[in-house]
Structure 1
């Protein structure tokens, strides 16, 4: 039952991310700013931090493949990047203190890493033609602010929900 609940919550985040992107596309926050919600990725990060590394990497791969198929031109980038970042988060949380503030900052840091890696892949494949300064001003900072607001709103409920599902019993 807990896997059904976890899968349903992942689906809700996946759909909510798409709805949010459609509602606030365009001129909602300024014509030159690009807001990219990464709610599903933040869910995977919190699942890895408060659940298990195995579940975080598994959900990262499945949701990453789904995200690639539905939204991106580069098939496989999210599918490989999300489990890799989930693995790095699990390793970093063994070093860092596991409190809610550190978890929020870690999720924000790895969201920034995700954005920068995706941008660099788009530059390499000639899908983007802006410089890093322009990318940081137009996309990275607004995206991080949006996702920081989402992290602040959802961190405690996500933590409680994942801990309640008791995924720590899974083999690492």
Structure 2
């Protein structure tokens, strides 16, 4: 049963991303700011840091799967989120080997992951002609508000999930060694 917790949490976050903007105050929605929730990516960063071990890549597998689900549900171009999320989570998994898992590392890797994912998604959409926003406007009106709002979500989620993910990661490691 515990193997289903991570996909269920990721699925819940995927659904909540669709209604995330409805939870914001109305004056933020009427302004020029474009806030994109990357809640699935934030939880995938937590999985990469606190659940995965050096030799396991569950976070990358979940990034591929849920990135594809985001593409199917929320976008009209398949593979953009799947490619971006999987590449970013693979990089986070690699950097995790160099850094200790704590709130500062989670914030650093989370902000870098959100920034890189959002830039790569915007770059892909620019190349295929889906968006034509200039980079200065993109930086000021979309990227910075997106990073700020997702950082607030990361800080709210951190104390709730870190101990559970660490415990589940240890249990998963000990069960795989006994088989």
Q: Which runs of 5+ in 2 are unaligned?
A: none
Q: TM-score, normalised by structure 2?
A: 0.87
Which moved further from structure 2: 21-30 or 119-128? 21-30
CA RMSD of aligned residues (A): 1.9
Which of these residues, 135, 142, 145, is aligned with residue 139 of structure 1?
142
Shift of the alpha carbon at 1:131?
A: 0.9
Aligned to 1:2: 2
Classify 1:5/1:12 alpha carbon distance in 2 versus 1 (closer, same or farther; 3 Å): same
For 1:164 and 1:158, locate their aligned partners in 2 and report how far apart those are by CA, in whole Å: 10
> Is 1:126 paired with 2:129?
yes
Q: Which residue of 2 aligns with 1:31?
A: 31
- 1:30: Cα distance to partner? 4.2
- C-alpha contact (below 8 Å) 2:84/2:121 kept by paired residues: no
Offset, 1:26: 7.1
Aligned to 1:46: 46
Per the alignment, in what secondary structure is the counterpart of residue 97 of structure 2?
helix
Deviations 1:94-129 (A, max 9, x none): 112322211112111110000111111111111111
The TM-score normalised by the length of structure 1 is 0.91
Aligned length: 171
Determine which of 82, 91, 105 is the counterpart of 2:108: 105
1:76 Cα shift? 0.7
